[in-house]
Amino acid sequence: MKEIKLQSPAKINLSLSVLGKRDDGYHNIESVMQTVDFGDTVTIAFTETPGITLKTNIKDLPTDETNIAYKAAALMQRTYGITCGISIHLEKRIPIAAGLAGGSGNAAAVLRGINELAKLGASQDELAKLGVTLGADVPFCVYGQPALATGIGEKLKEVKGLSDCYVVLVNPGVGVSTAEIYRAIDGEEPMLQSNTPALLEALQKGDLTGAFPEMKNMMESVAIRFCPPISALLESLRQVGADHAMMSGSGATCFGVFINKPDVDGLQSVFGHQLIAVTKPIV
């Protein structure tokens, strides 16, 4: 039995602006995305038994065709005529529905893993085109490099992201509905957006203090209305010394950027089970 094990890193949004609703119901966005050195482990194997089997360490996570990683395997089978069975095991560390693209990262890992196992020779661009049919964040997760994402998130331009810093991920343990947040945004006046050129220029120079003022998430203030603990987490991150703190994606995970290494024991005492990881950006 052939087997491959891949890391599926979490994504954070260094900026996120919602530019408007499209005729197809999706929203155009502009976001600077970054992966961090923390995430899930995806193990994929080919089996003699036909079909797809998916197992995970999270009891509440679906393991049938509603799981995006399962969908990714089925898509590869259809696209490339793979007839053998596929076994997938997800070792989840990224919280579910947390604004960290955990599911999208799992799907991207499945695409890359099957491509390698079957020696298909598909390029990253080809896998990314397949991935967007599964979810808007999947193409970014296929590449895994800091990028400016536009369109619905599928149009990617490689950029320089965070470097020489630490990222602290915290989650309130309460989910938020992305659909509800988008509906709320649609019904309001346009909110303050990031100055993307200024953000990218500062990141290119490695000037984090210059980048922080332009690291904004339009969804944050709306998400706080649905999930007030987000506000408390952001304030706590600032109080423990984060040089910048913001929410990732549609939430509810928040992250703090620390230029100097934070006190991990101190963070644990403040956040307890809400502390997901102390990690670094993938550059």
> Could you list the active site residues?
11, 137
Tell me how far apart the alpha carbons of residues 12 and 104 are, in angstroms, rounded to a whole number: 13
Tell me how far apart the alpha carbons of residues 228 and 248 are, in angstroms, rounded to a whole number: 15
* Ordered alpha helix ranges (H), the chain: 68-80, 102-117, 124-131, 138-143, 178-186, 196-205, 208-211, 219-226, 229-239, 264-271
Which residues, including other chains, have CB under 8 Å from residue 208's CB and lie 6 or more apart? 162, 164, 165, 202, 243, 244, 257, 259
Q: What tokens appear for 91 in the block?
A: 């070792």
Tell me how far apart the alpha carbons of residues 190 and 192 are, in angstroms, rounded to a whole number: 7
Tell me how far apart the alpha carbons of residues 179 and 176 are, in angstroms, rounded to a whole number: 9
Q: What is the DSSP string of 96-149?
A: TTSSS-HHHHHHHHHHHHHHHHTT----HHHHHHHHTTT-TTHHHHHH-S-EEE
Residues linked to residue 157 through DSSP beta bridges, in sequence order: 148
In the numeric block, the tokens 């390029």 are attached to: 123
Residue 22 phi, psi (nearest 5)? -95, 165
Q: State yes or no: cis peptide before 252, omega within 30 of 0.
A: yes
